[in-house]
Structure 1
Amino acid sequence: MHLDVYTLFIFELFILILLTAVMLFAWIGGRRDPTLGLTALMLAFSTAGTLLSSMRAGVSEVIPVVFSNMMILLCYGIMWAALRIFTGRRVFLPVVFSGPIIWLVFCLYPAFYHNLEPRIFLTSLLTATYTLLTTLEIWHARRQLQVTYWPALPLSFFHACFYLARPFFDDSLPYAEMAGGHSSGFFAILIFEAILYAICLSFIILAMVYERGQLGYKQASLSDPLTGVGNRRDFLERGNELIRKRKNNDFPLQLILFDLDNFKRLNDQYGHAGGDSALVFFCNVVKASLEKKDIFARIGGEEFACLTTRPREQAIRMAENIRFQLAQNSQHSIPMTVSVGMAFSESDQDSISHLLIQADHALYRAKSAGKNRIELS
């Protein structure tokens, strides 16, 4: 089967231009995510580098040999930077520009510049190195990404292996006009693989950025913007999920309900800024006593709830420690204390709402009995 290299080349340019436009519009309309912006820049340089590689007739070979390859290698450096930013790590500009600079330095030597085999070997090696670095960035951050990252791993790894194998297979003339416009050799396969890689990589990056954005919106809808802890919706969802898990694996479950005392007086005297700082301070006190499995959330104005799997006596000690720490470290002249109501879930408990009602009754007794105390349901 013969592959028309001219057609593949034009198709590659068309695809690169289209992907650049798609990624650029996604960047503009997606809160200017830097990963999308760098991907759009990478595709734009790739388009320019691919176009320059065809400028051979009547033009010095410096453009297609030196500058086009420098642009394409820069694309891979930008791709590495884009994925590194996506994973939340610093970008080192020397790494981004090292590939193009290495290529330029080697091209200064006539023995290299006029010899096709070492040029193919060096471009393949630099391309594979950048791609493997990109693969390692994704693999290194896989536990923190919280998005569907795995399609990027085999894609990048295959692309790196493809270019590592290229020097052993690419014995065809590398330019369409020298190949008579048709080729069944490696050069046509090279163009075809580049098209598939550009398409797949672009849409994988777009999907990962979109998924992370959706996850951010979901997390924002489940957290209290002032204190950073969960909100009532988050508490109910996670609490009910914990109760469902207990049906198959019995474990203790205690609910602690906190209500800050004298909060209205504190707000009246220090304003809303003072009230906000008091809420944040209280959350910091509670967080110091929490374990990894504990669920803590703000479920009302100055009302907070904690669901813990600790045994009953340990849960009571934790609540007492929080009450004591808050009373001893008040930020304001008005004593900052907390009343606590506790409820203990039975093995047949079917919802978190019932536990909240029980804890609320105990909290009401704590308020009525003079505040700054713990009452059990």
Structure 2
Amino acid sequence: MHLDVYTLFIFELYILILLTGVMLFAWIGGRRDPTLGLMALMLAFATAGTQLSSMRSDVNDIIPVLFSNLLILLCYGIMWSAVRVFTGRRIILPGVLAGPLIWAFFCLSPDFYHSLSQRILLTSILTAAYTLMTTVELWHVRRQLNVTFWPALPLSLFHAGFYLMRPVFDDGLPYAEMAGRHSSGFFAILIFEAILYAICLTFIILAMVYERGQLSYKLASLRDPLTGVGNRRAFLEFGNELIRKRKNCTLPLQLMLFDLDNFKKLNDQYGHAGGDSALIFFCSIVNSLLEKKDVFARIGGEEFACLTSQPKEQAIKMAETIRFRLAQSSQHNIPMTVSVGIAFSDLNQDTISHLLIQADHALYRAKSAGKNRIELS
């Protein structure tokens, strides 16, 4: 099957214009996510660079040789920066400009400038280098990314490998063939691969940004905005999940229910700012004692719950440590204490609702018995 180079070139140009528009509108409508903004800029430069590459003539070829490749290399630097921004890292401007500057420097040499094979070799190496740097950025933070990023890895590796093989297969005849609208083996494949890479990369980045946005909304819906700990919805969701995972384990779970004593007095005397600081301070004490798998959340105004897989004796000890540390401190010169009710899971009745009811009964007894104490279900 023969692929017409001129037709593929026009198709590539229109595809790049379309993808630039898609990414630009996604950036405008997506809370101006910097990753999308950089990708829109990258595609715009790619469109300009592709257009300039067609402006070849026998009289002057400085525009397609120097400026076209300079813009395309700048695209790869921006793409690398977009992935760095997505992964939470800063843009390294010298790294972005290094490829284009290296290209411009080599073009100052007449021997290099008039050698098509040398130009193909350098552009291929720089393109592969930027693509591999982009791949490394994703791989470096793979454990921290909570989005589906793996399709970008084989795509980038294939693209880098393709350009590393280009100097071997590129016969250096594409420009004459473009002018004559003839078929070309490798150069036609080069354009076709560039089209597929641009399309796949655009939609992979869009999917990653969208998935991260959805995840951030979900996390926000499960977090108490004041204290930063989970809310009641998060406690029920993650608590039931922890119970399901422990169903076949003989070691039961413990649920601790905390209620800050005399909290209304602190609020009345020092306002909501005083009450807020007390809640934040209490959460800092509890967070310093939690284990990784423990579930802790604010389930009411001054009421908190903690589901832990620690043994019964250690759970009681942790609750006593929290009670003691809080009693030894104060907020705005008002002593702070907490009452605690602890419920122990029954393997035959493993539900959060059941544990909350049992812990609430124990908490009520702690309040009735004088506060600042721990009662067991």
Q: Secondary structure at the match of 1:375?
A: strand
Read off the aligned partner of 1:16 and give its amino acid letter.
Answer: L
State the distance in 2 between where 1:178 and 1:262 align.
Answer: 83
State the distance in 2 between where 1:56 and 1:168 align.
Answer: 24
Deviation at 1:178, TM superposition (A): 5.1
Counterpart for residue 69 of structure 2? 69
Deviation at 1:125, TM superposition (A): 0.1
1:289-325 CA-to-partner distances (Å, cap 9, x unmatched) read: 1010110000000000000001100000000000111
Read off the aligned partner of 1:183 and give its amino acid letter.
Answer: S
Residues 290 and 59 of structure 1, relative CA distance in 2, 3 Å threshold:
farther
State the distance in 2 between where 1:266 and 1:176 align.
Answer: 83
Contact 2:177–2:184 (Cα < 8 Å) also in 1: no
Counterpart for residue 95 of structure 2? 95
Contact 2:6–2:178 (Cα < 8 Å) also in 1: no
- How many residues are treated as equivalent by the alignment? 377
Q: Secondary structure at the match of 2:32?
A: coil
> What is the RMSD computed on CA atoms of the aligned residues?
1.1
**Runs of 4+ residues over 4 Å off in structure 1:** 176-179
2:25 matches 1:25: yes
Deviation at 1:349, TM superposition (A): 2.1
Contact 2:77–2:96 (Cα < 8 Å) also in 1: yes
Counterpart for residue 250 of structure 1? 250
Residues 178 and 155 of structure 1, relative CA distance in 2, 3 Å threshold:
closer
Counterpart for residue 154 of structure 1? 154
Read off the aligned partner of 1:260 and give its amino acid letter.
Answer: L
Deviation at 1:268, TM superposition (A): 0.8
Q: Secondary structure at the match of 2:340?
A: strand
Read off the aligned partner of 1:312 and give its amino acid letter.
Answer: K
Q: Secondary structure at the match of 1:256?
A: strand
Counterpart for residue 180 of structure 2? 180
Counterpart for residue 291 of structure 1? 291
Deviation at 1:193, TM superposition (A): 0.2
Matches within 5 A, 1:1-377: 1-57=1-57, 60-175=60-175, 177=177, 180-377=180-377
State the distance in 2 between where 1:173 and 1:331 align.
Answer: 79
Between stretches 330-339 and 192-201, larger displacement belongs to 330-339
Contact 2:274–2:331 (Cα < 8 Å) also in 1: no
Q: What TM-score do the two structures reach when normalised by structure 1?
A: 0.98
State the distance in 1 between where 2:269 and 2:30 align.
Answer: 43
Residues 137 and 284 of structure 1, relative CA distance in 2, 3 Å threshold:
same
Residues 113 and 132 of structure 1, relative CA distance in 2, 3 Å threshold:
same
Deviation at 1:177, TM superposition (A): 4.9
Deviation at 1:252, TM superposition (A): 2.5
Between stretches 180-189 and 334-343, larger displacement belongs to 180-189
1:337-362 CA-to-partner distances (Å, cap 9, x unmatched) read: 11100001112123110000000011
Deviation at 1:179, TM superposition (A): 5.9
Read off the aligned partner of 2:311 and give its amino acid letter.
Answer: P
Contact 1:243–1:349 (Cα < 8 Å) also in 2: no
1:5-52 CA-to-partner distances (Å, cap 9, x unmatched) read: 111011001000000000000000001100000000000000000000
Contact 2:5–2:178 (Cα < 8 Å) also in 1: no
State the distance in 2 between where 1:174 and 1:227 align.
Answer: 63
Residues 348 and 363 of structure 1, relative CA distance in 2, 3 Å threshold:
same
Q: Secondary structure at the match of 1:233?
A: helix
Read off the aligned partner of 1:359 and give its amino acid letter.
Answer: A
Deviation at 1:331, TM superposition (A): 2.0
State the distance in 2 between where 1:172 and 1:66 align.
Answer: 17
Read off the aligned partner of 1:54 and give its amino acid letter.
Answer: S
Q: Secondary structure at the match of 1:342?
A: strand
State the distance in 2 between where 1:281 and 1:48 align.
Answer: 56
State the distance in 1 between where 2:21 and 2:177 align.
Answer: 29
1:173-207 CA-to-partner distances (Å, cap 9, x unmatched) read: 13265562122311110000000000000000000
State the distance in 1 between where 2:89 and 2:362 align.
Answer: 48
Q: What stretches of structure 1 of length at least 5 have no aligned partner?
A: none
State the distance in 1 between where 2:349 and 2:69 align.
Answer: 67
Contact 2:38–2:79 (Cα < 8 Å) also in 1: yes
State the distance in 2 between where 1:89 and 1:59 align.
Answer: 45
Between stretches 150-159 and 269-278, larger displacement belongs to 269-278
Read off the aligned partner of 1:83 and give its amino acid letter.
Answer: V
Percentage of matched positions with identical amino acids = 80
